[in-house]
Amino acid sequence: MKASGKGTLRVRSPQLAADQTSRLRFRLRLVVFAVILLAVPLSAVSGVAQRARRRRKGDEREAMKLLGSALAATHDRHALLPVVLAAMVEATGAVGGRLFEGNAEVARHGERSSPQEALGLALSGGSEPMLVLYAPAGGFTAADRALADVLAGQASIALENARLHAIARHDAVTDPLTGLANRRRFMEELGLELSRVHRYGRELSVILLDLDDFKSINDCLGHAVGDDVLCAVAGVLLSGVRDLDVSARLGGEEFAVLLPETNLEGASALAERLRRQVAELGLPVPVGHPPVTASFGVASSPPALSAETLLEVADAALYQAKRDGKNRVRPEREPA
């Protein structure tokens, strides 16, 4: 019992207190799930969930703080899936769970099975994963099932956001015509690889190539044919390099290849092979026009220490190849 300001007594029934506590615990579980799903490291999942289940009184300011932290959402779908599973297991009191995409298990948490029931939940976002929760002793309560449905909906939203973010990211760093990386991604990757060169003393090379006399193809045969030529050259680059290399269209008829762990000699040998493959494509050209060819410039780091210097050296080598007669490879080191 508690005295009111008017001197009367206000009685709180045990049932009312129990209902309020139940609602509070449900809200806290939702807050904890949001924080786990979007902000809390996987290693902290168990501790956070257990502390929340021990709480009996609410703190609205703390809840708002936790919800604010949840705004730091990850957009990495592969990293998100195991966190979703762990959060669902902890929040619902399950002894464990597994997450499947098709017939493949992609994540597990806690025990893989239970003599009690198993609760299956379909999630959306990408390939529509299926999440299976294994019940604790005594099974899931009706409240646990309702909570699992709510959390599955929240997880689906997070996964769909991650999928859409991945699409947007891909479009932002991909050349729409050729499917190669665009200049933005190439420069990002170049910066990352140069930092490894400086930190670990590794080698890095860059190939720049420019199609010879490409303007006359567009002028005589039209831009549609020109686009076909660009796509065919892009195909040569995609099929002729390693998975760790980055092939990019920098703009117009200019392309580039980033070659980690490759010295000048190795990059020059690759450039020569690509040059031959481009020349052997047999693409349509105007009558009297020479076959489609490309000129190549190659540079490496070290000695070039910055992205700007490396590209300047490769560009100078490329235009020297043009001056030397086109359809050739010119490697060049930065002057000592």
Q: Work out the mean pLDDT of the chain and round it to a whole number.
A: 79
pTM value surpassing 0.75: no
Query: Which residue among 90, 193, 253, 332 is the active-site one?
Result: 253
* Among the listed residues 174, 150, 158, the one whose alpha carbon sits nearest the alpha carbon of residue 77: 158
Q: What does the alpha-carbon distance between residue 131 and residue 200 come to, in Å, rounded to a whole number?
A: 42
Q: What does the alpha-carbon distance between residue 132 and residue 229 come to, in Å, rounded to a whole number?
A: 50
What residue type is 82 in one-letter code? P
Q: What does the alpha-carbon distance between residue 155 and residue 82 come to, in Å, rounded to a whole number?
A: 11
Q: Mind listing the pLDDT tens digit for each residue in 201-253?
A: 889 999 999 999 998 888 888 889 899 999 999 999 999 999 999 999 999 99
Q: What does the alpha-carbon distance between residue 254 and residue 244 come to, in Å, rounded to a whole number?
A: 21
Q: Mind listing the pLDDT tens digit for each residue in 75-130?
A: 677 777 888 888 888 888 899 999 998 888 988 999 888 787 899 998 875 567 89
The residues near 292 (Cβ < 8 Å, ≥ 6 apart) are 211, 212, 214, 217, 229, 233, 278, 279, 281, 283, 285
> Any catalytic annotation for residue 253?
yes
Number of H helices, E strands in the chain: 10, 11
All domains in the chain, ordered by first residue: 10-170 (3.30.450), 183-331 (3.30.70.270)
Q: Mind listing the pLDDT tens digit for each residue in 171-198?
A: 788 999 999 999 999 999 999 999 999 8
